[in-house]
């Protein structure tokens, strides 16, 4: 098992209180700018990507995907956002914590067009992000390593048939309620749908215990994503 230091990854899904849309437009605009300025203050310590889920899911409206080198910086930003005027109107129905590490199954493998190491996430520029927590059955971990590797190789082979889909995996063992957080970027949602359908037929899929909820997110700048909550 690797002891190399990975990155701390957070997926924070926010829901806006309907009372937010009843505020005066000027008050909302000023609160949005304060929220954005707070994110900017942490830009040197955290890489943050923003996504809108407005019109996609009913239980959350905004995703902030944040990548940093310590848990404390994530907590510091969360505290600062809570103290903003807009923070008073936001709840956090889903929040996932994970770390990057090297995969025991992938090794030096690279997906075409995907740079970097497994210890550093480099999110791809794409219009869509699909995120979900993932848990395998305990039976999976009792299988011989060679048998698991063979099934994972079949898994990878299916993935290579869909080059528009890029994977970003981080690990939550002992840190959160799931074992992995899996995030896929793509510019073709139909490719991701077909990929998942095909993966259901692979031997490894019988060892999936949980892979929901699934979030389909639309990439937008922070200001544009916040304006989806009500200008």
Q: Are 71 and 8 in contact (CB under 8 A)?
A: yes
Domains parsed from the chain with CATH numbers: 8-97+223-227 (3.30.70.1030), 128-216 (3.30.70.1030)
Tokens found for residue 179: 């074992």
Closest C-alpha among 2, 81, 15 to residue 215: 15
- The rounded distance, in Å, linking the Cα atoms of 201 and 211 is 15
Q: Which residues share a beta bridge with 2?
A: none
- The rounded distance, in Å, linking the Cα atoms of 53 and 64 is 11
SS3 assignment, position 138: helix
pLDDT digit string, tens, across residues 131-165: 999 999 999 999 999 999 999 999 999 999 999 99
- The rounded distance, in Å, linking the Cα atoms of 158 and 202 is 9
pLDDT digit string, tens, across residues 93-125: 999 999 999 887 786 445 544 444 567 888 889
Mean pLDDT of the chain: 93
For the cut 70, the answer to whether the pLDDT of residue 197 exceeds it is yes
- Sign for the pseudo-dihedral over CA of 230, 219, 155, 162: positive
Tokens found for residue 14: 């926010």
pLDDT digit string, tens, across residues 23-61: 999 999 999 999 999 999 999 999 999 999 999 999 999
At 1 the pLDDT is 41
Give the strand pairing for 180-186 and 90-99. Answer: unpaired
At 109 the pLDDT is 46
Neighbours of 73 (CB within 10 A): 17
Closest C-alpha among 70, 164, 37 to residue 111: 164
């Amino acid at each position: 098992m690797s002891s190399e230091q990975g990155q701390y990854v957070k997926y924070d899904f926010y829901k806006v209180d309907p009372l937010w849309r009843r505020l005066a437009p000027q008050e909302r605009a000023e609160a949005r700018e304060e929220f954005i300025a707070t994110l900017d203050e942490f830009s040197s310590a955290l890489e943050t990507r923003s996504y809108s889920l407005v019109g996609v899911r009913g239980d959350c409206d905004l995703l902030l995907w944040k990548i940093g080198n310590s848990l404390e910086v994530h907590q510091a930003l969360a505290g600062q956002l809570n103290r903003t005027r807009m923070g008073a109107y936001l709840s956090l129905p889903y929040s996932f914590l994970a770390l990057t590490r090297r995969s025991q199954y992938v090794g030096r493998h690279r997906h075409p067009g995907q740079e970097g190491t497994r210890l550093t996430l480099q999110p791809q520029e794409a219009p869509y992000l699909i995120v979900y927590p993932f848990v395998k059955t305990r039976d999976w971990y009792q299988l011989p390593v060679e048998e698991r590797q063979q099934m994972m190789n079949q898994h990878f082979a299916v993935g290579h048939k869909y080059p528009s889909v890029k994977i970003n995996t981080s690990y939550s063992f002992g840190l959160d309620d799931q074992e992995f957080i899996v995030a896929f970027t793509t510019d073709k949602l139909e490719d991701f749908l077909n990929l998942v359908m095909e993966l259901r037929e692979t031997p490894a899929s019988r060892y999936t215990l949980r892979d929901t909820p699934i979030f389909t997110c639309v990439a937008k700048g922070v200001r544009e994503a916040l304006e989806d909550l009500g200008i």
